[in-house]
Amino acid sequence: MSQKTAAMKTGDSKQLSVTVAPDNATDKTATFSSSDETVATVDATGLVKAVKAGTATITATLDGKTDTTAVTVTDPTA
């Protein structure tokens, strides 16, 4: 994944990406998921949105392999 950790504030968005190797791989589409969607959500393109303060792990899965990014969300108004 493009980042191993990400610090975000509530309301922020961050684009994550996955590097696919080899270049001629037939399936280059990763599936993204969040361990806690009340803290951070992620869409099919890897766009993470910070929802509320806390921590979540974003996982990308591609061809049976996984990689993760640890996301920490803070609330600047708290």
Q: How far apart are CA 30 and CA 36, in angstroms?
A: 19
Please, is 71 exposed, middle or buried when counting C-beta atoms within 10 Å of its C-beta (0-12, 13-18, 19+)? buried
Inform me whether the pLDDT recorded for 1 exceeds 90. no
Residue in the structure block whose two tokens are 């791989």:
25
Q: What is the pLDDT of residues 29-61, one digit of tens each?
A: 889 999 999 999 999 999 999 999 999 999 999
Confidence band (pLDDT; 50, 70, 90) for 78?
A: confident
Question: Quick one: which of 55, 60, 25 has its CA closest to 43?
Answer: 60
pTM metric for this prediction = 0.89
Q: Give the domain ranges of the chain.
A: 5-74
The percentage of the chain sitting over the pLDDT mark of 70, rounded to a whole number, equals: 92
Q: What is the DSSP letter of 76?
A: T
Helix (H, G, I), strand (E, B) or coil at 17: coil
What number is the average pLDDT over the span 14-37?
A: 84
Domain 5-74 has CATH 2.60.40.1080: yes
